[in-house]
């Protein structure tokens, strides 16, 4: 922390990333926001999987953290690689946003099933690709990157019939657009979707003490449990893997699905345990999916 005790928050400069950083700043009060340009923001004409995966949204920010030019970094957790630098801790102080995906289409279709024949959907997510192709092999999928408004314009300008976005982003930016929430049988979300994660240096005891008093326990257990599934399978944004969880009366249920890239084959697993066992439960589910053939499926 700087001499005047102002905490420096590092973030990407996209509207959603800034919204997240300002929400964290509201809780931490005496803080300033430092915008950091990442490789993922600079290269927007290629799918993430083709240029190196999720770390493209975090590596420049990680560098600033390691060099102590910022005190904490705020991320959409689904953009954070499952294995983070060993010098870092992960913390969760904000409640989770809605984890679901939504369909936004020219004709306001209620779901993927009801889109017109031979529609086009814009997405660069292997997880969404597999789930769309599983139920609608006729749909053509076009790679699409960029912030939410860039993607919405693709529908508005009739470049694609529809797009799929995270509901949390739509809600957080208060975007006024008709959408349909997709149920999990059609499109299960990515692990940690809607969760905001904070990374900081383990050795920074002052930051650790500040954040530990603000932990959102429910969000933390969901994050740890869902990421544990990915960790065991070694999943990332190249992988058509969906993971979600829910907590009711101190019990957490974690559900996961793994697809072949074309969506034609799928395995799934769902288990429940007490909330404090979330991370172990995620590991059990990941191990169970491997026994069911997850690693072979992901190679197809």
| pLDDT (tens digit per residue) in 117-140 | 999 999 989 999 999 999 999 999
CATH class of domain segment(s) 101-181: alpha beta
Pick one of 3.40.718.10, 3.30.160.40, 3.40.50.2300, 3.30.70.360 as the CATH number of 217-300.
3.30.160.40
Question: How far, in Å, CA of 247 to CA of 275, rounded?
Answer: 7
Angle of helix 15-28 relative to helix 148-156, nearest 10 degrees, comes to 140
Average pLDDT of every residue of the chain: 92
In this predicted structure, what is the pLDDT of residue 283? Answer: 98
- Residue 79: band (very low, low, confident or very high) from pLDDT cuts 50, 70, 90: confident
Question: Distances in Å between the alpha carbon of 91 and those of 140, 192, 249?
Answer: 39, 13, 23
Q: 1-95+195-215 in CATH: which number?
A: 3.40.190.10
- Rounded mean pLDDT of 107-112? 96
Whether 178 has a pLDDT exceeding 80, the answer reads: yes
- Rounded mean pLDDT of 232-237? 80
Greater pLDDT, 55 or 13: 13
Predicted TM-score (pTM) above 0.75: yes
- Considering the candidates 71, 79, 138, 262, report the single residue annotated as catalytic: 79
Q: Count CB atoms within 10 A of the CB of residue 57.
A: 23
In the structure encoding, which two tokens stand for residue 235, read together?
A: 């999943």
Domain with CATH 3.40.190.10 in the chain: 1-95+195-215, 101-181
Question: How far, in Å, CA of 24 to CA of 261, rounded?
Answer: 36
In this predicted structure, what is the pLDDT of residue 300? Answer: 73
- Rounded mean pLDDT of 51-59? 61
Domain with CATH 3.30.160.40 in the chain: 217-300
In this predicted structure, what is the pLDDT of residue 37? Answer: 82
Contact 148, 166 (CB under 8 A): no
Of 241, 288, 243, which Cα lies nearest the Cα of 261? 241
Question: How far, in Å, CA of 24 to CA of 173, rounded?
Answer: 15
- Residue 277: band (very low, low, confident or very high) from pLDDT cuts 50, 70, 90: very high
26 contact partners, CB below 8 Å, separation of at least 6: none
In this predicted structure, what is the pLDDT of residue 51? Answer: 46
Greater pLDDT, 128 or 39: 128
Contact 66, 204 (CB under 8 A): no
Whether 74 has a pLDDT exceeding 50, the answer reads: yes
Whether 44 has a pLDDT exceeding 70, the answer reads: no
In this predicted structure, what is the pLDDT of residue 236? Answer: 67
- Residue 3: band (very low, low, confident or very high) from pLDDT cuts 50, 70, 90: low
Of 244, 202, 201, 208, which Cα lies nearest the Cα of 223? 244
Which residues sit opposite 162 in a β-bridge?
105, 121
b or e along 83-117 (b: 16 or more beta carbons within 10 Å of the residue's beta carbon)?
ebeeebbbbbbbebbbbbbbbbbeeebebbeebee
- Residue 147: band (very low, low, confident or very high) from pLDDT cuts 50, 70, 90: confident
Rg (CA), the chain: 19
Whether 21 has a pLDDT exceeding 60, the answer reads: yes
- Rounded mean pLDDT of 189-201? 97
Q: Give, as one character, the DSSP assignment of residue 120.
A: E
For 257, half-sphere exposure in the C-beta direction (CA atoms, 13 angstrom radius) is: 23
> What's the order of all strands across the beta sheet hosting 266-274?
241-248, 251-259, 266-274
Is residue 79 part of the annotated active site? The answer reads: yes
């Amino acid at each position: 922390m700087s001499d005047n005790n102002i905490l420096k928050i590092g973030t990407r400069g996209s509207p959603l990333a800034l919204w997240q950083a300002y929400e964290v700043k509201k809780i931490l009060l005496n803080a300033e926001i430092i915008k950091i340009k990442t490789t993922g923001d600079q290269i927007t004409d290629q799918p993430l999987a083709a240029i190196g995966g999720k770390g493209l949204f975090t590596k420049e920010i990680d560098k600033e953290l390691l060099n102590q030019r910022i005190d904490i970094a705020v991320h959409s957790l689904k953009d954070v690689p499952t294995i983070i630098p060993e010098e870092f801790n992960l913390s969760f102080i904000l409640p989770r946003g809605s984890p679901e995906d939504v369909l936004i289409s020219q004709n306001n279709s209620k779901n993927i099933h009801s889109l017109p024949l031979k529609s086009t959907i814009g997405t660069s997510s292997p997880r969404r690709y597999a789930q769309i192709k599983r139920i609608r092999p006729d749909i053509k999928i076009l790679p699409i990157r960029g912030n939410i408004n860039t993607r919405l314009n693709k529908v508005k300008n009739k470049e694609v019939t529809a797009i799929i976005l995270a509901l949390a982003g739509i809600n957080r930016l208060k975007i006024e657009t008709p959408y349909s929430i997709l149920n999990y049988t059609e499109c299960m979300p990515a692990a940690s979707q809607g969760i905001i994660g904070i990374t900081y240096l383990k050795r920074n005891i002052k930051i650790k003490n500040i954040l530990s008093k603000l932990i959102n326990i429910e969000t933390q257990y969901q994050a740890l449990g869902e990421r544990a599934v990915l960790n065991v399978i070694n999943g990332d944004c190249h992988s058509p893997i969906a993971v979600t969880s829910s907590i009711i009366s101190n019990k957490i249920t974690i559900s996961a699905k793994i697809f072949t890239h074309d969506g034609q084959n799928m395995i799934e697993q769902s288990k429940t345990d007490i909330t404090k066992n979330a991370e172990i439960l995620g590991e059990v589910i990941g191990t169970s999916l491997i026994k069911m053939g997850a690693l072979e499926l992901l190679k197809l």
